Amino acid sequence: MNFKECATISVALLCVKTAYPADSLRTQKIKEVVVTADRTRRANVYETVPIQSVSGDDIRMTGVQSVADAVKRLAGANVKDYGGIGGMKTVSVRNLGAQHTAVSYDGVAVSNTQAGQIDIGRFSLDNVGLLTMAVGQGSGTMQSARHYASAAVLSIETERPSLDTGDYRLSSGIAIGSWGQVNPKLRFWNKISDKTMATIDANFMRADGRYGFTLVNGNEKTKEQRNNSDICQWHVEGNLFHSFNDESQLAVKAYFYKSERGLPGTVILYNNISNERLWDENFFTQALYTKKIGESCKLAVRGKYTHSWNLYEDKNVKYSGGILHETNRQDEYYISSTLGYSPVAWLEMAIAEDVAANKLRTSVNGSPNPFRITSLTALVTKMKTGRLTAEGNIVFTYASESLTESTKYAITTPADRKKISPSLSLSYRLLPDDALFFRTMVKSTFRLPTFNDLYYLQIGNTSLRPENAVEYGAGLTWNSRKIGAVKYVTATVDAYINNVTDKIVAFPSTYIWKMVNFGKVKAKGLDLTLGTQIDLSKGFSLTASGAMTLQEAKDKTENSPTYNSQLPYTPKVSGSLSAIFYTPWINIGYSSTAQGKRYSMAQNTNEYLMKSYMEHSLSVSRLLHISKSYDLTLQLTVNNITNKQYEIIKYYPMPGRSFLATVMVELFKNKK
């Protein structure tokens, strides 16, 4: 719109206001309209740090059955999967270690101070709306200090439906699959009033996990069956969303997870027996309050209480009485606030403060019950001028801990820890009219020793220093315009170098092992992603994406016998591919993951060499509009179509070909 057009409109409005006095003008309040849109990979090309996103609908459409399986398809992500439905699954990014990767659930970080890593296998995929993995912090300046303090963030955002007052949606269904898998599920969304909405998600899953595999011993091959891989788990989650008259927002969540599972253990020749079992309970309640203060300030306040309990049992003649029981209880009280200030359109600043209190109570003989207070303060600045976007932050960490109960061993608490960690990231638009960007980043982070590192049995070491990491990265991002039937093409290429010093490792000392700051790691690599959507004809379209990682991660510990060796479970080449073909009748989803050769131990010898593999899955689904009141969704998924036998962790064989059939019925009032 030019100056002449603006002037004409202004004069016309002035004439209307003059002709009709204010008292005679009638106003009519129209009904609020909420506009929603899916966030896709295309938006991530504008970020100053590498970010990958995938919607929950796309994940489910390709037949992926868990959050862990979805994360495996992201460039730079390394998921350790111990096999079976109930096996533990942890994620690390660019070989920095699982303890350096934060897991965020609806904007609030999940914690495990005892072990320092989160089992992402316990999160349900049914209600996931968006899954995002960011190297460095995520997008936006209103994050918590925990996000800024992490080397990478895996963010899980649950779905939040758009409903009118009095409307509801009720979804119920069941999934039945191989190896005794039965998974009923229930979801309920209700718009209680103009300002309040409530949701409930619940599911139950059980499986015996007794899948077959081939055991190879030289030239001899035998058919075996996985034992002690059963699981029985419950998940219930409730959410309450409320909007206040001043346009502030409150989101409250209560989450409960309980499971009993067998720990299948390693598969070695002549010994496929495992009697280890694990009981887990995890409860947390969290609240997130956001408010806009005037035209230039924002406030976000988070609070969370977490209680975790687990019981480990192992039956073995080596224990007194033939059985071992270990019980652990963790409690965390966490509060966080972020205040943002934007004095001008091109500048954003924020200060975030987090305080957490963690307590561990354990029955492990000789291990104390530690208590830790942690304070994180982040100062953030983001500037956008012309083609340049720059973001920098400084995180100050302070941690102090004490022992609440004495032990039979002489254990002293470590000194208070203080650390300053800066980071800087830049993005520059190379072409004024095209979405082609160059970005670079440098980020310093560290992770505190876990309670297990410090105190577990006799191997703990209270003199441990924090493990330090420095990330360097640079890359190109591009998003195309619409080209005929091709709606978009998006591509990213990011090179990186990561240095880890004071790495915490278990090291032999006299007759026992001790946790020490001994290790150094240097990792370098290249992450590539590509995505596109093509409208083939009316009612037919194709969405496809791919990711590839080339990496070299080596032990640089001086005087180490494995100096300059590739780190265990680090393939030099890995990648994934997924596609969804939409038709008026059915939708077909395909996904695959692949890893190249790698080693199970730090010694890079043929004895520990693990073969490369590529695993394929296919899913067919159909949405039926039965009436104005309900829909019916049918889906059939075949995982590991070629029945490929492979291992992610040595001696933990992954399942072969499996089937899963899902039926979902959705009832609704006034469906949009």
Distance CA 572, CA 525 (A): 9
Q: Using an 8 Å Cβ cutoff, are 653 and 267 in contact? A: yes
* Cα separations in angstroms, 456 against 23, 312, 363, 368, 460: 76, 15, 11, 8, 5
Q: Where are the domains of the chain?
A: 41-668
Give the Cα separation of 76 and 498 in Å (integer): 12
Q: What is the pLDDT of residue 526?
A: 97
> What is the CATH architecture assignment of 41-668?
Beta Barrel (2.40)
Gap between the Cα atoms of 419 and 55, Å rounded = 36
CB-CB neighbours of 90 under 10 Å: 22
Question: Checking phi first, is residue 266 left (phi over 0); if not, alpha (psi -120 to 50) or beta?
Answer: beta
Q: What 3-state DSSP class applies to 322? A: helix
Residue 458 pLDDT: 67
What DSSP state is assigned to residue 606?
G
How much is the pLDDT for 15?
Answer: 41
Contact 550, 495 (CB under 8 A): no
CA distances from 364 to 164, 278, 313, 361, 368 (A): 53, 15, 12, 9, 8
The reported pLDDT for the residue numbered 287 is 98
- Cite the beta strand spans of 316-404 per DSSP E: 323-344, 347-362, 370-385, 388-403
State the pLDDT at residue 214.
79
* Residue with the two structure tokens 């890079």: 604
The values of phi and psi at residue 264, to 5°, are -65, -25
Residue 55: Cβ within 10 Å count: 18
Average confidence (pLDDT) per 10 residues, the chain, 672 residues: 43 40 43 43 81 91 87 89 72 88 93 88 89 88 95 92 84 94 95 93 92 77 82 95 93 96 74 80 97 94 96 87 91 97 96 97 84 97 95 96 70 87 96 93 93 81 89 96 92 96 72 73 94 92 95 88 89 95 95 93 89 94 90 95 89 88 90 62
HSE at residue 576, side-chain half, CA atoms within 13 A, is 24
**Where does 2-94 have alpha helices with state H?**
3-19, 56-61, 67-71
Q: What pLDDT was estimated at residue 83?
A: 63
pTM over 0.85: yes
Only one residue has tokens 């560290």, namely 446
Q: What is the pLDDT of residue 166?
A: 79
CA-wise closest residue to 389 among 335, 361, 418, 427: 427
| Sign of torsion over alpha carbons 42, 43, 48, 52 | negative
CA dist 71 and 49 (Å) reads: 18
The maximal CA–CA distance of the chain, rounded, in angstroms, is 97
* DSSP bridge pairs for 417: 399
Nearest-angstrom CA–CA distance, 587 and 619: 8
- Which residues are CB-neighbours of 579 under 8 A, at least 6 positions away? 62, 542, 543, 544, 545, 589, 590, 591
- Report the run of H or E that residue 203 belongs to, with start and end: strand 196-207
Gap between the Cα atoms of 226 and 171, Å rounded: 34
